[in-house]
């Protein structure tokens, strides 16, 4: 199975590069399944129902989020009605929405998506390792589902790498989101799980993690109260990770970055 996981979409620039290019990418790579992290899609903070629809129309099968999931308050009443929009799975019981699901790919195969959020330098949520362990209790890769994808939304590289090794051999891929900076460590772990510490953002890289650089920089140089950060709106780069799996067991056979547009050097998976 051929799958793509797209990094945090930031603002209008990120939405534009995703919506303009994802249909072509799906066709060119003959993708079976696409996950898009959309937690910064609404002017840099959260996501709306209209943006969800535009991502689905462009070719996203599932949308993940993160710590900004509730920034657009309208999403609180919307999320229960959209099973393809996931919030972090380790929020306390009773939180609206769900953080995991099983979805049908274009090929008809069953893809499970897990969306935990880290705790190091993040909100003090429930244990993400225990949450994924519980979610996998009744599911086995290559048996009850054909692929398992994990979007681990976290700040610390150590925590994300720890999750990769914790799940190695039990899921198809573990990829990190949240830092908005792509890491150069795409690999297949010893047990057969594809891994990359962070996909990077889909947004304007002439910025400070997607936000206009002047205001963001002044926060560091003056230490004075500043206005609300605004997303940069120049040419954006689409950052994603391509994962190919063995149909017999669901483990990874190929993994690599995909980057196109904007300032970063274009890379296509081999």
The pLDDT, as a whole number, for residue 169 is 98
**pLDDT of the residue at 66:** 97
The predicted structure's pLDDT at residue 139 = 96
Yes or no: say if 240 and 49 are a contact pair by the CB < 8 Å rule: no
pLDDT, position 225: 73
pLDDT at 228: 85
Triad 149, 155, 159: Cα angle to 5°: 65
Mean pLDDT by groups of 10 residues along the chain of 270 residues:
98 98 98 98 97 98 97 96 98 96 96 98 96 96 97 98 98 98 98 98 97 90 84 97 97 98 95
Segments making up each domain of the chain, as ranges: 2-260
Q: What was the pLDDT predicted at 227?
A: 80
Q: What is the pLDDT of residue 224?
A: 81
pLDDT (0 to 100) of residue 106 = 92
Tell me phi and psi for residue 43, to 5 degrees.
55, 35
Fold of 2-260: Purple Acid Phosphatase; chain A, domain 2 (3.60.21)
d(CA 39, CA 72) in angstroms, rounded, equals: 10
Residues 6+ apart with CB under 8 A from 146: 1, 105, 109, 110, 111, 245, 247, 250
pLDDT at position 75, please?
97
Distance of CA 162 to the CA centre of its chain: 17
Read off the pTM.
Answer: 0.96
Report the C-alpha gap between 173 and 161 in whole angstroms. Answer: 12
* Predicted pLDDT of residue 42: 98
Q: Which of 68, 115, 178, 180 is catalytic?
A: 68
- Is residue 139 part of the annotated active site? The answer reads no
Task: Write down the pLDDT at residue 270.
Answer: 86
Extract the tokens encoding 180: 């908005």
């Amino acid at each position: 199975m051929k799958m793509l996981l797209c990094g945090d979409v930031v603002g209008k620039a990120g939405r534009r590069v995703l919506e303009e290019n994802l249909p072509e990418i799906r066709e060119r790579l003959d993708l079976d399944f696409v996950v898009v992290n959309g937690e910064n899609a609404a002017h840099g903070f959260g996501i709306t129902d209209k943006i969800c629809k535009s991502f689905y129309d462009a070719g996203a099968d599932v949308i993940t989020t993160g710590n900004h999931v509730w920034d657009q308050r309208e999403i609180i009443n919307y999320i229960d009605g959209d099973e393809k929009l996931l919030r972090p799975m380790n929020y306390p019981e009773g939180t609206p929405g769900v953080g995991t699901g099983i979805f049908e790919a274009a090929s008809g195969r069953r893809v499970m998506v897990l969306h935990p959020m880290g705790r190091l330098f993040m909100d003090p949520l429930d244990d993400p390792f225990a949450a994924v362990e519980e979610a996998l209790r009744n599911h086995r890769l290559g048996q009850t589902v054909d692929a398992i994808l994990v979007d681990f939304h976290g700040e610390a590289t150590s925590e994300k790498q720890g999750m990769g090794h914790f799940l190695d051999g039990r899921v198809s891929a573990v990829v990190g989101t949240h830092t908005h900076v792509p890491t150069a460590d795409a690999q297949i772990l010893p047990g057969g799980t594809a891994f990359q510490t962070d996909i990077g953002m889909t947004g304007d890289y002439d910025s400070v993690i997607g936000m206009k650089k002047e205001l963001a920089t002044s926060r560091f140089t003056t230490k004075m109260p500043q206005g609300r950060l605004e997303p940069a709106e120049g040419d954006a780069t689409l950052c994603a990770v391509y994962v190919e799996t063995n149909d017999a067991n669901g483990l990874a056979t190929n993994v690599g970055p995909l980057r196109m547009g904007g300032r970063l050097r274009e890379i296509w998976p081999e």
